[in-house]
Amino acid sequence: MSKVLFLVSPTLNSFVDPRKGTTGNKIDCAMHHFTNSLASNVQIGAAAGITALAGRAVVKKTPELAAKVAGMGGVKKFFQYLKAAPKPLKIAAGIAAGLSLLYRTYKKGTIEQKYIDRAQFVDHTFTLDRKEKPASAPVKA
């Protein structure tokens, strides 16, 4: 289950991962994953928005495209604007989105490692192979 959640959402994974230790550590990890994803999504949205604005300017200059777009809904208009944008701008927006996703993935790995290490430092019950350490035998006097 944890592996599926890790692929779907690192924020949710933080709460069910037994390697994270305390609840406070899990909450901190989830918060960092959430802010990492939010920052990446804002960057991707900004790139798409700028591209759509440039496409809107192209559509306004072309009467036949403007007539075609006039009766569309908001989402369809947005995609038509993206389609009408200049090709170099679309390529630049794609590169920006790709780099943002690449950095998000790198950052996700560093966040995971940070909070797993923190949990192991605070609670010395986990080893690298995810097995609990055996309890030490009592010392006879």
Determine, yes or no, domain membership for 16.
no
Is there a domain that residue 3 lies in?
no
Q: Which domain holds residue 76?
A: 21-122
pLDDT, tens digit (0-9, with 9 covering 90-100), for 2-22: 454 444 577 777 777 778 878
Q: What does the pLDDT read at residue 6?
A: 47
Q: Does some domain include residue 42?
A: yes
Among 53-57, 92-96, 137-141, the range scoring the smallest mean pLDDT is 137-141
What is the residue whose two structure tokens read 């200059």?
A: 61
Q: Is residue 128 domain-resident?
A: no
Question: 65-71 long-range contacts, Cβ below 8 Å, gap at least 24?
Answer: none
Tally the domains of the chain. 1
Is residue 7 in a domain? no
d(CA 129, CA 131): 6
**What mean pLDDT do residues 23-52 have?**
90
**Position 42 pLDDT exceeds 60:** yes
Are the C-beta atoms of 14 and 33 separated by less than 8 Å? yes
Query: In this predicted model, what pLDDT tens digit does every residue of 97-117 receive, in sequence order?
Result: 999 999 999 999 899 888 888
Has residue 66 been placed in a domain? yes
Q: Left (φ > 0), alpha (ψ -120 to 50) or beta: where does 22 sit? A: beta
pLDDT greater at residue 45 or residue 74: 45
